[in-house]
Amino acid sequence: MDLFAVLARKALYPAFVGLKRETHLCHLREMERTQYLPKDKLETLQFERLRRLVAHAAAHCPYYARSFADCGVGPSSLKELGDIRKFPVLRKKDIQANAADMLASNVPRSHLVENRTGGSTGKPLHFYVDLERMETRKAATIRHNRWAGYDIADRAGIVWGSTRDLAAVFEGRLPLRNAVFERSLVLDASSLTEQGMLDFADRLAKYKPRVILAYAHSAYLFASVLESRATRTVSPHSVITTAEMLYPHQRERIERVFGCRVFDRYGSRETSVIASECEAHSGLHINAECLLLETLEDGRPVGPGEPGEVIITDLLNVGMPFIRYAIEDWATLSPDACACGRTLPLMSAVEGRTTDFIRTPEGKYVSGAALTIKLIAEIPGIAQAQLIQDSIDSVRFRIVKDPSFTKESEELLLRKARELMGPSISISTEFCENIPSEPSGKFRFSISKATGNEKRG
């Protein structure tokens, strides 16, 4: 048993957040209760929060005042939860064009935390989260971690894109916290080599993490490399995968190699944790006290069991409300009850979030999911981007520019890409009006046609 973790969790951590006047442990206690609320009580809670959010957005966010007026809707249009469908859908291009007008005029700038994402669809967004929402995001993340047996101060092995993104995972905690409460070893998913993964496994074998937290495809690649070893060296309690679609064959291999269950998670930087698997593994429970999820096809709601476009309302971010946000993922809601007893609604794993690794001539694997955040989110003026590897020694970026894209943006992109992909690969850019989806309708940020990617996939 990890006695330090128990002490830190029970005594040090509550004292620390008390000193900092942070509220997430209070929210966490509340969420531990509300995850078992009867369905009607949960919907009442969601409706109350929705009503408050819509009234606030109409009164204090110029963008919503305009878009509600254009659609002839307002706070009085809400009589029940389903009335959300009368309101306009918020697209990524709307946010790119109206971010400043989405900010609430009655929330001081000092109460907002800046964030950005490269997005699963290669469309970068720049947005803000208010301080109290940061606290409920932390609380939800801890609650969902607990479902996988991972709690505050437990040791973790992490395969992730960037430290900046990790700050999102842990919701912006500070260096002291990192040392005491987020005890983790990190491997950078944007720079994976076979030797690097074997060395990381050796470090983990000594560190004995409670959990491994990784991008889905990176966890699979890591498991694939370790499988060539005869003995199991890393045996965590669980593996949490996220950011990308997890295929059944990937789950199977990860579970076999690490000798534990995989807990898949669906999250985004815009809204933090959206849904996670519990110990019953019969789908992902939606973080329903914080988020209202709809699934649509051609603007109409789809029934349970049918895949639809995911539309998310963040019920708690008043600093920059996201009301009916089209996150550009597809998922299927489930009407089933879960054996674990939690009443938070279930959804199937999200579909379509898939990125290929870029394999460099030097033998390095660069995670597509890591590139969206480490590269695309950092370049000004990109409306959408896609990365295509035509051969082992050549990649090209397809870019849809927005008006703020400059020559410097292109130079920055090429320079950062060079740092990530090494000295010998040829990197080019190609500008276009739009980037088509795959024939399946799904969008892939990175596509590699170089051999060797598929088997690792």
> Interface with Zn ion by CB under 5 A: which residues?
278, 280, 338, 340, 342
How near is the Cβ of 345 to Zn ion at its closest, in Å? Answer: 10
Query: Checking DSSP bridges between strand 284-286 and strand 272-277, what pairing results, if any?
Result: antiparallel
How near is the Cβ of 44 to Zn ion at its closest, in Å? Answer: 21
Of residues 64 and 266, the one with the C-beta less far from Zn ion: 266
3-class SS string, 190-247 = CCECHHHHHHHHHHHHHHCCCEEEEEHHHHHHHHHHHHCCCCCCCCCCEEEEECCCCC
CA distances from 237 to 213, 273, 306 (A): 11, 21, 33
Decide if 246 contacts 264 (C-beta within 8 A): yes
Of residues 342 and 416, the one with the C-beta less far from Zn ion: 342
395 SS3 class: strand
How near is the Cβ of 223 to Zn ion at its closest, in Å? Answer: 25
Decide if 282 contacts 336 (C-beta within 8 A): yes
How near is the Cβ of 338 to Zn ion at its closest, in Å? Answer: 3
The radius of gyration computed from the CA coordinates of the chain, to the nearest angstrom, equals 22
Of residues 51 and 342, the one with the C-beta less far from Zn ion: 342
How near is the Cβ of 306 to Zn ion at its closest, in Å? Answer: 22
Give one DSSP letter per residue of 133-168, joined into a string.
HHHHHHHHHHHHHHHTT--TT--EEEEES-HHHHHH
Of residues 280 and 412, the one with the C-beta less far from Zn ion: 280
Which tokens is 22 given? 């942070």
Decide if 115 contacts 129 (C-beta within 8 A): yes
Backbone angles phi, psi at 232, to 5 degrees: -80, 125
Of residues 31 and 338, the one with the C-beta less far from Zn ion: 338
Of residues 232 and 342, the one with the C-beta less far from Zn ion: 342
372 SS3 class: helix
Q: What is the identity of the amino acid at 32?
A: E
Which tokens is 58 given? 């109409």
How near is the Cβ of 141 to Zn ion at its closest, in Å? Answer: 17
Of residues 92 and 285, the one with the C-beta less far from Zn ion: 285
327 SS3 class: strand
Of residues 180 and 280, the one with the C-beta less far from Zn ion: 280
283 SS3 class: coil
How near is the Cβ of 288 to Zn ion at its closest, in Å? Answer: 13
How near is the Cβ of 344 to Zn ion at its closest, in Å? Answer: 8
Of residues 136 and 276, the one with the C-beta less far from Zn ion: 276
How near is the Cβ of 27 to Zn ion at its closest, in Å? Answer: 20
Which tokens is 115 given? 């964030």
